[in-house]
A and B are shown apart, each in its own frame.
Chain A
Amino acid sequence: MSSLAISLLDLEADAGVCFEAEDYQKRPGKWCAGCGDFGALNAVKRLLAKEQLQPDRMVFVSGIGCSSRFPHYVNAYGFHGIHGRALPLASGIKLARPELDVFVVTGDGDCVSIGAGHWIHAIRYNMNMVVMLLDNNIYGLTKNQTSPTTPLGYSSMTSPHGAQLPALDPLQATLGVSNASFVAQTADWVPAHLYATLEAAYDHPGFSFIRILQRCPKFTPDIFEQAVKDPARTELLVHEDGVDPPGLEKLYEARREHDPKDIDEARSLARRDDMIRLGVFFRDDSLPVYEEVRAVPKVTPQEKINRLNKEFERYAV
């Protein structure tokens, strides 16, 4: 039998291994009880099991923060980097190895503050990766400092009399960047929606940005309390090209048909603060991804040497 046949057999053998969600949990998450990050981890595990992703073929990249501990808990390759800089690392990985699945986990300080420059540009590069912004409206790891997404007037250790500035809305910002290709919002307390959004994000060929509203029981327990208790404050954006997980109709009566192709409506919905809106705001699967834009034909080492020797002719004395 040819070696090709052998590798096909291997593939079948691989296919025989079936990963359960729990197989993707490397070790128990060490977040506070009630932390929304657990919800995100559970949804990710479900997604990986659904897609049957090989732990060795994916990389979870993060910055620094409570949320950025995420890669340590997933059975996959992981790169727990430095504060604010997960996206450049992830971009480098994807540029070098487009075949690897790349997931980025970042916090509101990590992404919207110190990493804001990278965030804006990563949206524009549009590389195929899933980016989860775990937005608890506060700096968790460093113990309760105001973040760019902290609501106006909300107090913290650095703004004891309340945040002086209106919050920066990551959705509006993302939707404002040229070349944005997937923008969604979900919440850790609506697991079905979180999971469905992740699925859609993974399915999208490009930079899938998901803002996950995330409860922090320690420092911002009250911020999402009303929303959790009173589903009427939440509107689901539904569409056949977006997400509409079954079983939520009863609890979340406020539903709006929103076509994710409609960037103007997406922007105007993101601007409104009358309700929390969960769903896919914008999606365009047709935009080119940077790793393909920059793809160049492979050249063998020997061919490189030949070409470089030719190149030297330009400089020959």
Chain B
Amino acid sequence: MIRLCRLENETLSSVATKDINISEVSEHTVEIITNSGEGAQKCAQIFGQTCAKMGNGVWTVEIIPAEIEPPHHTVTSTSGNIIRFGTDKVTNWGDQSKLAVAFNDQVLLSRHRLDSLHDNCIILQESLWENHEDEDIRRMYREAMEEMSSKNYRFVNVPIEEEALKIVSNPSHGKNMFALGLLAEIYQRDVSIIERQIAHIFRLKSQKVIDSNIELVKAGAAWARENLDFQFHIPSVPAEEERIVMNGNQACGLGSIAAGMELCSMYPITPATSVSHELAEVIENYGGIVHQAEDEIAAAGVAIGASYAGKVALTVTSGPGMALKTEFIALAIMVEVPLVVLDVQRGGPSTGLPTKVEQSDLLSSIYGQPGDAPRVVIAPRSIEECFHSMVTARRIAETFRTVVIVLTDANLATGVQQFTRPELDVRWQQGPIDQSPVPEGLRPYEWDPKTGMSRRIIPGMPGGAHTVTGLAHDELSLVSYHPSGNELGMRMRSRKLAVFQSTLMPPEVHGDEEGDLLVVGWGSTHGAIEEAVDRARAEGRKVSSCQLTFLSPLEPGIKDIFSKFDKVMTVEINYSDTVGDPYITEETRRYGQLAWLLRAHTLIDIDCWTSCPGQPLRPKDIYQNIIAKLEPSQDIEIGEAS
């Protein structure tokens, strides 16, 4: 039997073997969807690692339920992973999944309702429920199947639990590895790599556990070999340079070690916490500690205190924690103590969407302080940049005696991608704390009138004793209410940013330097935006994009770049009004945050398409909105990101 699996936009070639059809595709997106606690993460982690080791580009995303232990077999219990992998580099989670392994109909249904599955998605579904003895379960199954019949999904029933029970007594601890075996066979993964991964992940467990997990993988693979008539082949190009693979929070954590940071003070908050998990495990080998403070305010205070005393300190949080740190951040700016703040953005306002992605902290990060408190805000665009941003942030903070806020988000935090192994430089590390005598007559804020910069004096330096204060102060750090003195301080703190800006390069344009539309984004949307732009460009459309990394101060030359395009539109994961909605006109409309900033900065009539679905943006939605912007007359459905 030979069957051709037709998949859109992909080169297909069918290689007939005995009775298995192998489709060659340039990329695929796979979902593993389970109840929480059924081990989807481990399965995906090993699968993703294996793909990366085999030379594929990989991006994985976690599907996280809001509760720790939600009731099983419900649409709210969905936990899982999406793995997108391909021949080339993969920069985002893509559009929809082409293949799914589902442990029950309800978790699958939740994915269907989110429009996460491709119309022709192949679904390997647990066969237990269709004919279950419990009438309620059978009914739920029937209703779910009915609801999903609107799509052309191809269902394959797999006795996942039954097969797992042949090897382990508790199927919850085995189904995931059986599923991994299915995937290994379908995508011809190298089982020896999988075995090594299993041995590593379960290294703290007994050999018996390792053996039974390997046995499960083999059983899954064998089942697929015997029962499935299709496979996919995704060619891989082994990387020339050495690469590492990790998520954005791990990258930030290791980046902070590479940057010589020896204190991370934090208070747990999703999705930032895992940075401290990562650090807590290893930082003490690097002479540093993670200090879990009593709240985010204290976490900021401890970091500022340590930094004032000469250590390089970091505080890590997410939106609600940023709000609490506000007053301390202003203090650090006022007393000119270097500080690095990492904000792993989540959905807001208030407690919002704790586990989900959003880019809504941009303006509050730049402006959210009492008074004028200029600081640097940067947004890494990839997991690789997460790593390097920590080194950059520390350098800027110390050179300019200021606060650097690094904005990542839940997409980068939990997304896993491989990147070139960084070449570490010992100069990134902290040398001994400066305890040389303070030159006679040096003032605590000896501002260079041209640059606003001044030499930092650290406690312990002989002859330097002075008191820093959050009150307005003069160059001697004496409290001063003098009108011109206050203005001088303001000017000097601001001037530093101008000096810093002068060291930046104009942002790069992806695509031609002129055209009909320029799409501007920031941070984690980089990959999805470029993929959408490339799709439009392949059709001959004159679209380019530009992904900003430095948000405060902005990179130079932006106005020049924008002026070469007919239209400029930001794409962001945050809220903006839609003209035509009740009460919303061009005049009343609230814009996306970057659009707001750029409109003020350039005086150009910049539009925006934003969406805050609690998910990363999909290239196809961005693409649709590019088309809609280019051809407003055409009646194209403007997609809300799914």
- Identify the closest chain A residue to B262 (Cβ): A96
Bound Cα distance A94, B306 (Å): 7
User: When the two chains form their complex, are residues B430 and A308 in contact, meaning their CB atoms are under 8 A apart?
Assistant: no
Which residues of A in the span 271-305 have a Cβ within 8 Å of any Cβ on B?
294, 296-299, 301-302, 304-305
Measured between alpha carbons, how far is A22 from B567 in the docked complex, in Å? Answer: 70
What's the least CB distance linking A259 to chain B, in Å? 31
| Chain A CB within 8 A of B612 CB | no
Judge whether A81 and B470 touch: CB under 8 Å.
Answer: yes
Contact B418 A92 (CB under 8 A): no
Structural contact, A80 and B298, CB atoms closer than 8 A = no
Mark interface residues in B271-310 (1 if CB within 8 Å of A CB, else 0): 0000000000010111111010111011111111111111
Check A79–B308 contact: CB distance below 8 A.
yes
Q: Which of A1-9, A36-44, A83-91 contacts B (4 or more CB under 8 A)?
A: A83-91
Q: Is the Cβ of B305 less than 8 Å from the Cβ of A89? A: yes
Which A residue's beta carbon lies closest to that of B331?
A: A82
Kindly state whether residue B604 has any CB partner on chain A within 8 Å.
no
Binary flags per residue of A78-115, CB closer than 8 Å to B gives 1, else 0: 11111001011111111111011000000000000000
Chain B contacts with A in 236-269, Cβ cutoff 8 A: 239, 242-246, 250, 254, 257-258, 260, 262-263, 265
Residues of B within 8 A of A307 (CB): 285-286
Per the 8 Å Cβ criterion, residues 449-507 of B in contact with A are 459-471, 478-479
Interface size class of B (residues with CB under 8 A): 35 or more
Instruction: List, in ascending order, chain B residues with CB within 8 A of A205's CB.
Output: none
Q: Do residues A317 and B244 form an inter-chain contact, with CB atoms below 8 A? A: yes
From 13 to 60 in chain A, residues with beta carbon under 8 angstroms from any chain B beta carbon are 26, 55-57, 59-60
Instruction: Among B52, B286, B328, point to the contact of A308 (Cβ < 8 A).
Output: B286
Residues of B near A12 (CB, < 8 A) are none
Judged by a CB distance under 8 angstroms, whether A311 is at the interface is yes
Judge whether A315 and B245 touch: CB under 8 Å.
Answer: yes
Is A80 a contact of B242 with CB atoms below 8 Å? no
Q: Is the CB of A88 within 8 A of B466?
A: no
Residue pair B468, A317 in contact (C-beta under 8 Å): no
Shortest A124–chain B CB gap in Å is 9
Mask of A136-148 contacts with B, CB within 8 angstroms, 1/0:
0000000000000
B339 to chain A, nearest CB (A): 10
If A55-B465, A60-B467, A92-B308 touch, does A302 touch B426 (CB 8 Å cutoff)? yes
Is there a chain B Cβ closer than 8 Å to A211's Cβ?
A: no
Contacts of A298 in B (CB 8 A): 287
Could you say which residues of chain B place their CB within 8 Å of the CB of A11?
none
Q: Are A80 and B468 in contact (CB under 8 A)?
A: yes
Q: Is the CB of A96 within 8 A of B479?
A: no
In the complex, the answer to whether A304 meets B260 with C-beta atoms within 8 Å is yes
Name A63-88 residues within 8 Å CB distance of B.
Answer: 64, 71-72, 74-82, 85, 87-88
**A14 (CB) vs chain B CBs: closest residue:** B462
How far, in Å, is A137 (CB) from chain B's closest CB?
Answer: 25
Q: CB distance A90 to B305 under 8 Å?
A: yes
- Whether B293 contacts A88 by the Cβ 8 Å rule is yes
Q: Shortest Cβ distance from A264 into chain B, in angstroms? A: 27
Q: Which of A89, A90, A97 has the most CB of B within 10 A?
A: A89
Tell me whether B459 and A77 are in contact (CB under 8 A): yes
Q: Is A118 an interface residue (CB 8 A)?
A: yes
A71 to B470 CA separation, bound complex (whole angstroms) = 13
Assess whether B244 is in contact with A92, with CB atoms less than 8 Å apart.
Answer: no
- For B299, what are the chain A residues with a Cβ–Cβ distance below 8 Å? 88
Closest to B244 in A: A315
Q: At the interface, yes or no: B421 with Cβ under 8 Å from chain A?
A: yes
A302 to B427, CA, bound (A): 9
Interface pair A92/B309, CB less than 8 Å apart: yes
B618 within 8 A of partner (CB): no
A305 pairs with B429, CB closer than 8 A: yes
Chain A residues whose CB sits within 8 angstroms of the CB of B460 once the complex forms: 56-57, 77, 97, 99-100
Q: Which residues of A contact B311 (CB under 8 A)?
A: 95-97
Cβ contact within 8 Å between A92 and B430: no
Beta-carbon contact of A91 and B308 below 8 Å: no
Expressed in whole angstroms, the Cα–Cα distance for A64 and B311 within the complex equals 25
Query: Which residues of A are found within 8 Å of B294, using beta-carbon distances?
Result: 117-118, 120-121
Q: Report Cα–Cα, A95/B470, bound state, in Å.
A: 22
CB-based contact A297/B287 at 8 Å: yes
Chain B: which residue is nearest A313 at the CB level? B244
> Which of B307, B460, B468 neighbours the largest number of chain A CB atoms within 10 Å of its CB?
B460
Known: A59-B309, A88-B302, A121-B298. Contact between A299 and B459, CB under 8 A? Answer: no
Instruction: Flag if A299 contacts B287 (CB, 8 Å).
Output: yes
With A59-B459, A72-B467, A316-B242 as contacts: A305 and B303 at CB distance below 8 Å = no
Point out the residue from A81, A100, A294, A308 that lies within 8 Å of B309, measured CB to CB.
Answer: A100
- Specify which chain A residues have a CB less than 8 angstroms from the CB of B243 in the assembled complex: 316-317
Asked if A268 is at the interface (CB within 8 A of a chain B CB), the reply is no
Q: Which residues of B contact A120 (CB under 8 A)?
A: 294
B287 to A316, Cβ gap below 8 A? no
Q: How far is the CB of B12 from chain A (nearest CB, A)?
A: 28
Find chain A residues with CB under 8 A from B242 CB: 316-317
Q: Does B431 contact A (CB under 8 A)?
A: yes
Kindly state whether residue B313 has any CB partner on chain A within 8 Å. Answer: yes
Question: Within the assembled complex, what's the spacing in Å between the Cα atoms of A97 and B298?
Answer: 18
Q: Indicate whether B114 reaches chain A with its CB closer than 8 angstroms.
A: no
Contact string against A for B residues 413-451, beta-carbon threshold 8 Å, 1 for contact and 0 otherwise: 000001001001110011101000000000000000000
Measured between beta carbons, the chain B residues less than 8 angstroms from A78 are: 465-468
Closest to B284 in A: A296
Closest to B462 in A: A56
In the complex, A305 Cα to B478 Cα: how many Å?
Answer: 41
Smallest CB-CB separation from B311: which chain A residue?
A96
* Residue A226 at the chain B interface, CB threshold 8 Å: no
B98 within 8 A of A: no
Q: Give A84's nearest chain B residue, CB to CB.
A: B297
**Nearest residue, chain B, Cβ from A77:** B459
Query: A100's closest neighbor in chain B, by CB?
Result: B459
Residues of A close to B260: CB separation below 8 A: 301, 304
Q: B53 interface residue, CB < 8 Å from A?
A: yes
Given known A305-B429, A308-B424, A317-B244, contact A80–B287 (CB-CB < 8 A): no
B window 36-70: CB within 8 A of A: 49, 52-53
Contact A312 B244 (CB under 8 A): yes
Which residue of chain B has the shortest Cβ distance to A80 in the bound complex?
B469
Bound complex: CA A81 to CA B334 (Å): 10
**Interchain nearest-CB distance for B373 vs A (Å):** 13
CA distance A64 to B327 in the complex (A): 13
Inter-chain contacts of B52 with A (CB < 8 A):
317
Interface residues of B in 7-55 (CB under 8 A from A): 49, 52-53
| The 4 A-B residue pairs with the shortest CB-CB distance in the complex, in nearest-first order | A92-B305, A88-B301, A78-B467, A301-B429
A-B contact pairs, 18 of them (CB 8 A): A57-B459, A60-B467, A61-B305, A72-B479, A76-B465, A77-B459, A81-B470, A85-B298, A85-B327, A90-B305, A91-B298, A92-B309, A117-B294, A305-B424, A305-B425, A315-B250, A317-B244, A317-B418
A-B contacts besides A56-B465, A79-B305, A79-B335, 18 pairs, CB < 8 Å: A56-B459, A56-B462, A78-B465, A89-B301, A91-B301, A92-B263, A95-B305, A95-B306, A96-B313, A97-B309, A117-B294, A117-B295, A118-B297, A305-B424, A308-B257, A308-B286, A317-B49, A317-B244
